[in-house]
Structures are given as C-alpha cells and as structure tokens.
Amino acid sequence: MIIDIKDVSLKIKGTVILEHINLSCGEEEICGIIGRNGSGKTMLMKCICGFVRPSEGEIRVQDKIIGKDVDFVPDAGIIIETPGFIPYYSGIKNLRLLASIQKKIQEPEIRKAMERVDLDPDMKRVVKKYSLGMRQRLGLAQAVMEDPKILILDEPFNGLDKEGVAKMREYFLQLKKEGKTILLASHSTEDIQVLCDRVYEMEHGKLKEITTI
C-alpha cells in the first residue's frame, strides 16, 4: 500500500473528530472518500499530510510513518480547502514562486501543468480576478507540476463547470495510468463512481469501506 492508515483517532479539546480510522490506497489506484461537509474528510487529509497529528494510530505513506520517520507526507501534490495564492500575481508567477522552493522543475514543466488543466500560461490576469473555477484549476496545476507520486485532493472539482469536471476526470484517469496514487474527497457520488477503484464513506468522524454507492 502507498497510503496505509491504521486505527487513527483524533481528539481536539475533548471532542472526537476522527474515530478508529482504517484506510488503504495502493499504487495506480484512485481512492475516494465520500461524505457530507463536516464529516471529517478534510481533517483526515490534514492528518495524512502531517499538518495535524492524530491522537492515536499510525499513518504510513510509502513506508514512512508520518510524524515519526518524516514530518510531512513525502512526494505528494496536495489541495486541501481553498488553494491560496498571492492575489496580485498572475497564475504562472505564483507557480514560478512555488517551484523555486524545491527547485525540482523549470519553466517548461510549469507551463505544461497549466496547459493540462486548461489554463493559458501567458494570460496576464492576476489571480484576484480569477473565477472560482480558475483558482481551482491553478490549485490542480500546482499539485501536479512537480510530478509527485501521490495526489491528495480535497474536493478537487469545486467551482468547475460540467465541461471542466469532465475534462478533469479524464485527466485524473490519465494520471492513474501514469502510475499515480490519488486520494480524493468529494461530496459528489458521481465523481466517486466514475473515478474510484476503492471507496470509503465518512460520517461523524467514522470511516467504512463500501462496495456500492
């Protein structure tokens, strides 16, 4: 398993947020978590990424224990909640700035990532003038641009119109063929049905694997 979660619980100020979570996601799999807003999906993803430490249990990603072997999830592209960018920079300028942190990629890879999510890298419009759907596309571009092994995506289709959703679904299936492991959370049953090899349902901080939805 690329992502392997065993008996993870999280309590914050005495309130149970996650309760005895078990989840596995393998190589070249798209795994989906479906659940209503407030069910615990986002908090679980924050724990997987290493942004929040669980109270109990173990999160192992690519044989590294998060919080023990490594502080944060290795080799992952992430979207959790609304992607944040510098509002008075263009899309490509934001991505150049992010790419400069690890220096793993150059201009051609940045431009390709934008083009794959249907954004024009030469567009001069600053991010504060982007629509919600354009911001989401830019978030997807930053998640994939460094060619990570793993994608952890919280509601990745937010703000996209019907055509945009269809194109992004095709793109995710292509990424799976390229060897990616994708964990995504969605409140949309259709997204989960179309994309996912393995499906989990979350409700009130509890998770169970399901075969049909």
Q: What is the pLDDT of residues 92-101, one digit of tens each?
A: 999 999 999 9
Task: Quickly state the pLDDT bin for 37 (edges 50, 70, 90).
Answer: confident
Mean pLDDT, range 40-69, rounded to an integer:
96
Mean pLDDT, range 32-41, rounded to an integer:
91
| pLDDT, tens digit, 9 for 90 and up, residues 62-85 | 999 999 999 999 999 999 987 789
Res 178: pLDDT: 93
Res 159: pLDDT: 86
Tokens of 38: 């407030």
Terminal CA-CA length for the chain: 23
pTM surpassing 0.85?
A: yes
Percent of the chain at pLDDT exceeding 70:
99
> What span, in angstroms and rounded, lies between the C-alpha atoms of 168 and 157?
8
Residues of the chain with CATH 3.40.50.300: 1-75+149-213
H/E stretch holding 9 reads: strand 3-12
| Of 137, 174, 143, the residue nearest 159 (C-alpha) | 137
CB 55 within 8 A of CB 84: no
- Residue-wise burial string across 35-57, b where 16 or more C-beta atoms lie within 10 A, e elsewhere: beeebbbbbbbbbbbbebebeeb
Res 83: pLDDT: 78
Evaluate if residue 38 carries a pLDDT over 90.
no
Beta-carbon count within 10 A of 141 CB: 27
Task: Quickly state the pLDDT bin for 212 (edges 50, 70, 90).
Answer: low
Mean pLDDT of the chain: 94
Edge-to-edge strand order for the sheet containing 3-12?
Answer: 15-25, 3-12, 56-61, 64-65
- What is the CA angle 191-197-203, rounded to 5? 65
Mean pLDDT, range 4-14, rounded to an integer:
95
In CATH, 1-75+149-213 is 3.40.50.300: yes
What does DSSP say about strands 30-34 and 198-203: parallel, antiparallel, or unpaired?
Answer: parallel
Mean pLDDT, range 185-204, rounded to an integer:
92
> What span, in angstroms and rounded, lies between the C-alpha atoms of 13 and 80?
23
Could you tell me which residues come within 8 angstroms of residue 155 by beta carbon, excluding any fewer than 6 positions away? Answer: 79, 185, 186, 187
Mean pLDDT, range 169-185, rounded to an integer:
95
| Of 188, 191, 185, the residue nearest 207 (C-alpha) | 185
